[in-house]
Amino acid sequence: MSERTIPQTRFFHVLPEGQLERPASRAEALALVGSGGFVWFDFIDPTREELESLSRPLGLHALSIEDCLDEEQVPKMEDFPTHDFILFNWYRFAERTLAIDEIDFFLGRDFLVSVSHAASFPAGSPRARLDEAIERDLVNVRKGPDFLLHVFMDYIVDEKFKAIESLQEELDTAEETVIEAPGAFKPEALLHLRRNLLVLRKSLLHEREVLVRICRRDSPFVSEGAIYHFRDISDHLAKFFEAIEIYREMITSLMEIYLSVLNNRMTVVANRTNRIVRRLTLINTIFMPLTLLAGIGGMSEWSMMTDPANWRIAYPAFIFLMLLIGIANYVLLKRLEARDRASAEKDLAELDRPPETTRREEGERERDLTRP
């Protein structure tokens, strides 16, 4: 797909009839302010001089212009005598990377100034598709700059939904991996998702405050008819915020599930090792007394056990005795192991018994003790 670059500065005069005129210069656009309809000043990556040239004609405050040039601001709304300054965010999620772009608005009675912070936008980017959304809603746009602001914000919120939906797909993929193939799961993927969700939560929290102020009529530049449209945006942001909270809880649960699965696998390996060590211990325990008898009896010096005439009988008898001792040790160890297993099962059964049964038995035991 070929890329189309949006001009960095554009001016539109929106007539009450819904027609769009394109002033040739900034001076011509400023001259049209207050002549009917409203003027839209659209800046993309502007310089300080370009924004300061609007300060005196439109009454833009210097602090708001400073905020436009600072891309590290949080969403907010500030009131001034001639305009409202609104800072908003929109999201882009591509190649498992979340990008947050800032867009600033100066909303007045008969003008709207929009400031974006990207040098160029390809044809498939959210900023490029915004023009199509505005053209489709010219019927509402012609009503005033506050309706154009609503179209802007409504489109931005739609793009937020796409980004949040992509994050949800990433979370669903991580959930399937944890359950079906925990060995292939990478915990850093969840941590990356968690960081993205925290960034979204911070942005949505401040944007909800902006919409709350607009919907309760704090701005004199938003008409009564436009407020109903902004309420719809506020509802969407509330839903997104709740979704982010749910996703955060899901990430915490997934991490707990992953750690539980990992702990179970480690337990299986440890149990296997314990079984091997127990077998070796059993063999060692059986042969230790036999080794002791062999050392004391002096198998290497047959004359210590019997005289040369009887060695043919003494040695087989000694070996048979060692065999009996080995079998006796094995049987004894197995009985001790069975008794320990039965005791453990009894303790588990005591823990699994209903509390009422336990209290009944304790009551009967107390009656037995107090009975004369």
Give the C-alpha separation, 207 to 234, whole Å: 9
What value does the mean pLDDT of the chain take?
80
Phi-psi category of residue 265: left, alpha or beta, with phi > 0 → left and psi -120 to 50 → alpha: alpha
Give the three-state DSSP class for 35: coil
Give the C-alpha separation, 54 to 61, whole Å: 10
pLDDT digit string, tens, across residues 25-53: 889 999 988 888 899 999 888 888 989 99
Q: CB of 209 within 8 A of CB of 216?
A: no
pTM over 0.75: no
**What are residue 11's DSSP bridge partners?**
41
Could you tell me how many helices (H) and strands (E) the chain has, helices first? 11, 7
Whether the CA torsion 74, 77, 83, 88 is positive or negative: it is positive
Give the three-state DSSP class for 98: strand
Q: CB of 31 within 8 A of CB of 110?
A: no
Give the three-state DSSP class for 181: coil
Give the C-alpha separation, 276 to 142, whole Å: 82
pLDDT digit string, tens, across residues 144-179: 999 999 988 988 888 888 888 888 888 888 888 887
Q: CB of 174 within 8 A of CB of 121?
A: no
Structure token pair of residue 47: 């310089």
What mean pLDDT comes out for the span 94-99?
74
Question: Cα angle at 328 between 322 and 331, to 5 degrees?
Answer: 145
When pLDDT is cut at 50, 70 and 90, the band that residue 76 belongs to is: very high
Give the C-alpha separation, 372 to 369, whole Å: 8
- Name the maximum alpha-carbon separation found in the chain: 136
Give the C-alpha separation, 8 to 120, whole Å: 8
Sheet holding 76-79, edge to edge: 20-21, 9-14, 38-44, 111-116, 97-107, 84-94, 76-79
Q: Which of 91 and 245 is assigned the larger pLDDT?
A: 245
Which single residue is written with the structure tokens 């939906």?
165
Q: Which of 90 and 306 is assigned the larger pLDDT?
A: 90
Q: CB of 155 within 8 A of CB of 133?
A: yes
* Residues near 12 by beta carbon (within 8 Å), at least 6 away in sequence: 20, 21, 22, 23, 39, 40, 42
pLDDT at 306: 57
What mean pLDDT comes out for the span 131-138?
80
Structure token pair of residue 292: 């002791």
Beta strands in the chain (DSSP E): 9-14, 20-21, 38-44, 76-79, 84-94, 97-107, 111-116
Percent share of the chain, pLDDT over 90: 17
What element of type H or E holds 253? Answer: helix 224-297
Q: Which of 196 and 282 is assigned the larger pLDDT?
A: 196
Q: CB of 171 within 8 A of CB of 155?
A: no
pLDDT digit string, tens, across residues 294-327: 666 655 555 545 566 666 676 777 778 778 887 8
Q: Which of 129 and 246 is assigned the larger pLDDT?
A: 246
